[in-house]
Chain A
Amino acid sequence: MIIRLKDLVKLLGISIVTFCAVFVCTFFLNFYWDVINLPHVPADLLPLYNAQLAMAQFTAGISGGFMAVIAVIMLLFYIRLYINQHTRELGILQAMGYSNWQIARQFWVFGGSVLLGTTLGYGCGHLIMPYIYDNLLINGLPKVAITFHPTLLVVLVILPTMLYAGLACLFAGLTLRQPVSDLFRGGVANLKVKPDRHTKARSFLREMQSKCVSTKKSLTFFVVFGVFCFAAMVQMAFSMWRQLDTSSMGLIILLIGLVLAGVCLLLALTALVNANTTNLTLMRAFGYYWSECTWAIFGGFLPWLLLGFATGTVYQYGLLTLMVNLIFRNVANMPRYTFDVPLLFITFATLLVILAIIVASYAIRLKRTTLKQAAAE
C-alpha cells in the first residue's frame, strides 16, 4: 500500500462536502417521498402543499447537485496533488515495472472519504428528520410517519461511494500516463515555457502575482466557488430570516454555506501557501515586507474573489425572487422580498475580515520558518 492514512486525512474536505450534500438530500427527499403519497390534501392547502413539494425537490436537487460536482473537483484536485507530491515514489514503482493501472487501482481508497461523508450525512439526516418533519409539514395536514426508503440509501450512500472510488482510479490512471522520466523530474512537464511578453514592464511582485494564478488554475475555481457559496448562502439565509420568516431553513442554508465556503477557501489558501513556502521565506530573507509577500501570493486572486462574490449575490437574489414569485406564487400571505443592500456590504466586509484573519495566521507560522525547513517540507 503506497497511500497512507496521513494522506487520506487531507481528504476531510471531501467528506465534509459529501456529508452536507447527503445530509440535506436525505431529509428533503425522505420528506418528499413520505408527503407526496398523502391521500386527501384539502383543496385550500393544495397550493402551499405543491409549492412545498417543489421546494423540497428543488433544494435537494440544487444543493445535492452542486456539492456532488464540488466533491468531484476536490477529489481530482487531491489526486493530482498526491501524484505531484509523490512523483519520486510513483516513478520508482513505474521503473520497477508496475503498470500504471496497478498503481492507479490503489487510489480506490480515496473513495473512503466519500463513504465517510455520505454515511455520516445519511445518519445525521435521519436523526434530524423528526424535527424537519415537524417544521416543514403544513398546519392542517395529518401527521406523517417517517418511513425508511432503501432506495435513498443506495442512491445517496452506496452508489456515490462506488462512483467516486472508480473515478479516483480512472483519473489516477490517466494522470500517471506521463513518462516516468517526467515524473522523476517532479512534474516539470507542468511548467510549460511560454515566452513572457511582460517581463520588461512588470515588477517582480506583479510577475509573481500573475504566476501564482496561472500556475494554480484549479485554485481559482476553489476561490470563486468558496466566495460564491459564502456570498450566496449568507445573504440568502439572512434574507429568509428577516424578510421571509423561514428561520430554520435559513439556518441550515447558512451552516451549509459557511461549511462549503470554509472548506473551499481553506483548501485554496493552504495549497497556495504550501506551494510558496520556500518562495515566501526567500522573499522575507531578501527583505520583502510581509504585506508585499501577501500581495504577491494572494493579490492575483482578487478579481476572482470579486467575481465569486458578484455571481453569488446575483444567484441568491435570482433564486429568492424565483421562489417567492414562482414556486410560492399561489400561496396566500406570502411576504414580499426585496434586495437587501446593507446586508450585501456587511457580508462582503465579513468575508474580508475572515480572509485577513486566515492570512495573518499563516504569517505567524511562516515567520518561524527558516529557508532550510521550508525547502525540506
Chain B
Amino acid sequence: MIKVTNINKSFNHGAVKVLHDLSLTIDDGQFVVILGASGSGKSTALNIMAGLERPDRGTVLYDEQDIYQLNDRALTKFRRQNVGFVWQRYYLLPHLTVAQNVKLGADLAGNRDYPAIIAAVGLTDKLNSKPYTLSGGEQQRVCLARALAKKPKVLFLDEPTGALDEETGRNALAYVLELQRALGLTMIMVTHNQNIAETANTVIKMNSGKIVGTYHNAHPKSAREIGW
C-alpha cells in the first residue's frame, strides 16, 4: 500500500507553489489514473510518490516505510527494488540497442529472461535495432519492456501515450493494461486524456496542485472499448 500524506512542494525557493497538502492512498494491484490539465502538478506528484524528488513537507509511506526518511543510497536501493518508470519522452539510451536498453532494467533485478519481455511487447525482431530507427509506438514499448524487466512492484507512467497517435496510443495502452493485470502490478499513470481514465480502478482528479475529486470504476473498460 502506498500512503501519501500532506505533501507540499514548491520550486524556486518557494516562489512557485506546485502541490498543496496532497494526500491519497493506493492499494496494491490497483491501476490508478491521475487526471488533470497541463501544469496542475501531476508529474511533480508522480515523481514524489516514486521516490525521485523530495517533498518540502509530508510523507510517502510504502507499507509503513517513509521513503524520504531514507538517505540517498537507501532511497536509490528502494527505487531499484520497487519502482519502474515510463515517460512520454522515452529517454532511451541512443547508442545502445533495444536489447541493451531493456537490459538496463533487467540487470537491476538479476533478470536473465529479458528476451521474453521484449517478446511480450512484440519487438523480438527489433532486438538489435537502435532506438532512432523505431517508430514512436515501438520506442514506447521498449520503455515499457525496460521498466517491466526490472520486475517492479509499482509502475509509474507519466503521459505514456502523450506523444502517440490514436491507434498507436491505444495499442500501447492495451499492452500496458494486459501486462498490469497479468503481473498484478500496482500502476499509477498520469494523463490528461479523460478517456483513459475509464480503464482505471481509481481516478484522481487534480487541479492547481490539489486533489479535486476521486472516484472508482466498478468495471474498468479495456483499451479497445474507450473513446480517444
Tell me the A residues contacting B by CB distance below 8 Å.
185, 188, 191, 193, 195-196, 199, 203-205, 207-208, 211, 215, 278-279, 282-290, 367, 370-372, 375
Contact = CB atoms under 8 A, between A and B. Distances in A.
A185 B130 CA distance: 14
B85 interface: yes
A289 B73 contact: yes
Contact of B130 (A193, A205, A207, A288): A193
Contacts of A278: 91
A290 to B, nearest CB: 8
Given A285-B52, A371-B91, A207 B132 contact: no
A285 B53 contact: no
Given A188-B132, A191-B132, A193-B130, A286 B97 contact: no
Nearest to A198: B100
Contact of A196 (B83, B85, B100): B100
Given A191-B130, A211-B95, A289-B76, A199 B107 contact: no
B9 to A, nearest CB: 12
Contact of B99 (A199, A211, A287): A199
25 contacts: A185-B132, A191-B95, A191-B130, A199-B99, A199-B100, A204-B103, A215-B95, A279-B93, A282-B91, A282-B93, A286-B80, A286-B84, A286-B105, A287-B77, A287-B79, A287-B80, A287-B108, A288-B76, A288-B80, A367-B72, A370-B47, A371-B87, A372-B43, A375-B89, A375-B91
B185 to A, nearest CB: 16
Interface in B63-101: 72-73, 76-81, 83-85, 87, 89, 91, 93-97, 99-100
Task: Give the interface residue-count category, chain B.
Answer: 35 or more
Given A199-B99, A199-B128, A370 B53 contact: yes
A296 to B, nearest CB: 10
Nearest to A371: B91
B150 interface: yes
A101 to B, nearest CB: 30
Nearest to B47: A370
B204 interface: no
B174 interface: no
Interface in B89-135: 89, 91, 93-97, 99-100, 103-108, 128-130, 132-133
B104 A203 contact: no
B131 to A, nearest CB: 10
A227 to B, nearest CB: 24
